C-alpha cells in the first residue's frame, strides 16, 4: 500500500500538555500544524497535580475556565515524615510572589482532552491513533520526514518544515539520535492506582497534595474532584525489581509500610487496576537541532515529587514555539530564540533536581519539617514549589541562603550526611526494573 504524503509547516508528535500547547500557539500564529497522537482522547495518564505557575498559561491559552471546572483547588502541599512523627503543610500564598496562591488537581484524561481540543479549535489538523515509526530530522538543506501508520488510513509520510517532538517518554528523537541518557544521579520506579473513599482533609485543605516519605521512597496522595484519589509510590528501582507477587498485592503491601497513608486508605477501595513504570529519570544530550525541538518529557523526565512535570512541559512548549517561529519566519532572531530555549530546557530540571537529589538526606528533611523564614528562605522555597523559577521573582539570594544553611547543617552532622549519601549511591547503583508503562 502506497503511503499518503502530508505536507505541513510543523509536525507536532504527541498531544499531551506540551504537544497540544505548542500546536495551539503555532496554529494561532497561522502555521499549518499537524498534531499526531498515537492514542485517542480521552486516555488515562498520571501526573494529576499542577503548580500555580500553570494558571497564567491556562489563561493565555483560553482554557482556564474549562480546567477549573474539572479541577480540585490545591492551596498547598503537605509533607509527612515518619522520622519526625508529624506533618507540615506549606501554602503557596506564602511564596515571595503572592499573585499565584493556588493550583489545581486534575484528572489527566479530561485535562489532556481539553488542551487537545483547544489545539484543534485553533486550527491544528489532529490525527489520532497514528503511531510514528520513524523520524528523519533532516538538515539545513533537507526537510524532515516523519513516517507513521494511522488506524483506518494506513501509512503516512509527513513532510513538515519543522518537527516538535512532544512524544513524552517515547523520546522518539532522543532515541533516533542516540542522545537519551539515564540520569546517573537519580533513579526510581513507580506504581500507582486510583482509590475511592480515601480519607481526605476537611475544608480548605481537602485538595492539597500529600507527600508521605517511607523507607523505600515516597508516596503521593492527590485528591480529585470526582471523589477519586490518585495514590502512587515512587521507589528505588531495587524495590520494584524485588516484586515477587501480583502488582496489586505488592502495592497494598507497600502502602502498609507507611502507617500514615495506610490509615487514610483504611476504608478505601481501588477504583483502577494498579500500574507500574520503571527507569523513571533521564535526559537527552540535546534539546534541539536544525529542524526540530524536543519539549516536555521528550527531552527529560525528573522525579515528580514536586509535581513539576506538566508545568515544565507546557513552559518548554512556549519556548519551543518561539524557536519554530524564528526559524521559519524571522531568521535574524533565530540564534537568540534558540539560546533562550536551551536555557529554559535546562534551567527547570536543574532547579528542581537540586532538591530532588537531596530530599532523601536527613538534613533536607529536617529543613522541610522545621520550616523557618529567616532570610526569606521559606518563601523562596515555596516559590520553587509553586513553579515560579522562570520569571524575575527575587528568589536567587534567599535560595542561596537556603542552600548555605543546608550545607552548613550537613557539615555539622557530617557522619549522618555521609551515611545518607552512601545509602543513596548504593540505591542508585542497584539494577533498575525494566521500563514498562502500564505493567501489571
Task: Going from the first residue of the chain to its last (440 residues), give the mean pLDDT of each consecutive group of 10, the final group possibly shorter.
Answer: 92 98 98 98 94 98 98 98 95 96 98 98 98 95 96 96 97 97 90 97 97 96 96 93 95 98 97 87 96 98 94 98 98 97 97 94 95 95 97 94 97 95 85 48
Angle between helices 334-358 and 377-385 (to 10 degrees): 110
What fold characterizes domain 72-105+187-280+360-440?
D-Amino Acid Oxidase; Chain A, domain 2 (3.30.9)
Q: Quick one: pLDDT at residue 438?
A: 42
Query: What superfamily does domain 4-43+108-182+283-345 belong to in CATH?
Result: FAD/NAD(P)-binding domain (3.50.50.60)
Name the residue ranges covered by the structural domains of the chain: 4-43+108-182+283-345, 72-105+187-280+360-440
Selection from 137, 113, 111 nearest residue 11 by Cα? 137
CA distances from 313 to 155, 220, 380 (A): 29, 20, 22
CA geometry: angle 213, 214, 217, nearest 5 deg = 80
**∠ CA(280), CA(285), CA(291), 5° rounding?**
115
Q: What is the 3-state secondary structure (H, E, C) of the chain?
A: CCCEEEEEEEEEECCCHHHHHHHHHHHHCCCCEEEECCCCCCCCCCCCECCCCHHHHHHHHCCHHHHHHHCEEECEEEEEECCCCEEEEEEHHHCCCCCCCCEEECCHHHHHHHHHHHHHHHCCEEECCEEEEEEECCCCCCCCEEEEEECCCEEEEEEEEEEEECCHHHCHHHHHCCCEEECCCCCCEEEEEEEECCCCCCHHHHHCEEEEEECCEEEEEEECCCCEEEEEEEECHHHHHCCCCCHHHHHHHHHHCCHHHHHHCCCCEECCCCEEECCCCEEECCCEECCEEECHHHCEECCHHHCCHHHHHHHHHHHHHHHHHHHHHCHHHHHHHHHHHHHHHHHHHHHHHHHHHHCCCHHHHHHHHCCCCHHHHHHHHHHHHCCCCCCCCCCHHHHHHHHHHHHHHHHHCHHHHHHHHHHHHHHHHCCCCCCCCCEC
Q: Report the alpha-carbon distance of residue 295 to residue 287 in Å, rounded.
A: 8
Amino acid at each position: 500500500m502506497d503511503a499518503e504524503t502530508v505536507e505541513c509547516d510543523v509536525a507536532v508528535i504527541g498531544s499531551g500538555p506540551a504537544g497540544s500547547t505548542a500546536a495551539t500557539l503555532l496554529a494561532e500564529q497561522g502555521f499549518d500544524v499537524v498534531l499526531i497522537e498515537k492514542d485517542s482522547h480521552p486516555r488515562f495518564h498520571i501526573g494529576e497535580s499542577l503548580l500555580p505557575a500553570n494558571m497564567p498559561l491556562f489563561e493565555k491559552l483560553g482554557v482556564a475556565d474549562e480546567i477549573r471546572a474539572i479541577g480540585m483547588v490545591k492551596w498547598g502541599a503537605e509533607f509527612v515524615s515518619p522520622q519526625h512523627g508529624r506533618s507540615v503543610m506549606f501554602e503557596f500564598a506564602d511564596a515571595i510572589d503572592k499573585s499565584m496562591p493556588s493550583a489545581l488537581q486534575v484528572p489527566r484524561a479530561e485535562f489532556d482532552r481539553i488542551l487537545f481540543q483547544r489545539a484543534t479549535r485553533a486550527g491544528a489538523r489532529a490525527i489520532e491513533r497514528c503511531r510514528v515509526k520513524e523520524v528523519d530530522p533532516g538538515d539545513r538543506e533537507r526537510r524532515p520526514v516523519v513516517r507513521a501508520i494511522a488506524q483506518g488510513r494506513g501509512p503516512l509520510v509527513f513532510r513538515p518544515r519543522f518537527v516538535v517532538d512532544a512524544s513524552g517518554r517515547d523520546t522518539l528523537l532522543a532515541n533516533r539520535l542516540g542522545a537519551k541518557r539515564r540520569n546517573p544521579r537519580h533513579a526510581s520506579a513507580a506504581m500507582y492506582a486510583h482509590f475511592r473513599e480515601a480519607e481526605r482533609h476537611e475544608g480548605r485543605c481537602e485538595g492539597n497534595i500529600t507527600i508521605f516519605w517511607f523507607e523505600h521512597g515516597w508516596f503521593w496522595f492527590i485528591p480529585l474532584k470526582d471523589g477519586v484519589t490518585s495514590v502512587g509510590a515512587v521507589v528505588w528501582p531495587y524495590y520494584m525489581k524485588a516484586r515477587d507477587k501480583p502488582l496489586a498485592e505488592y502495592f497494598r503491601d507497600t502502602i502498609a509500610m507507611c502507617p500514615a497513608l495506610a490509615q487514610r486508605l483504611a476504608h478505601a477501595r481501588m477504583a483502577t487496576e494498579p500500574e507500574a513504570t520503571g527507569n523513571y529519570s533521564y535526559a537527552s544530550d540535546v534539546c534541539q537541532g536544525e529542524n526540530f525541538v524536543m519539549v516536555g518529557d521528550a527531552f527529560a523526565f525528573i522525579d515528580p515529587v514536586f509535581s513539576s512535570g506538566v508545568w515544565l512541559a507546557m513552559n518548554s512548549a512556549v519556548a519551543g514555539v518561539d524557536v519554530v517561529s524564528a526559524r521559519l519566519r524571522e531568521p535574524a532572531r533565530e540564534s537568540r530564540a534558540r539560546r533562550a530555549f536551551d536555557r529554559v530546557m535546562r534551567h527547570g530540571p536543574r532547579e528542581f533536581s537540586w532538591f530532588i537529589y537531596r530530599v532523601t538526606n536527613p538534613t533536607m528533611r529536617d529543613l522541610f519539617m522545621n520550616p523557618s523564614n529567616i532570610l526569606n528562605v521559606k518563601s523562596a522555597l515555596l516559590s520553587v514549589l509553586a513553579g515560579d523559577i522562570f520569571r524575575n521573582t527575587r528568589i536567587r539570594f534567599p535560595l542561596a541562603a537556603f542552600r548555605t544553611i543546608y550545607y552548613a547543617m550537613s557539615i555539622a552532622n557530617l557522619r549522618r550526611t555521609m551515611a545518607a549519601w552512601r545509602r543513596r549511591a548504593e540505591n542508585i547503583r542497584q539494577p533498575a526494573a525494566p521500563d514498562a508503562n502500564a505493567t501489571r
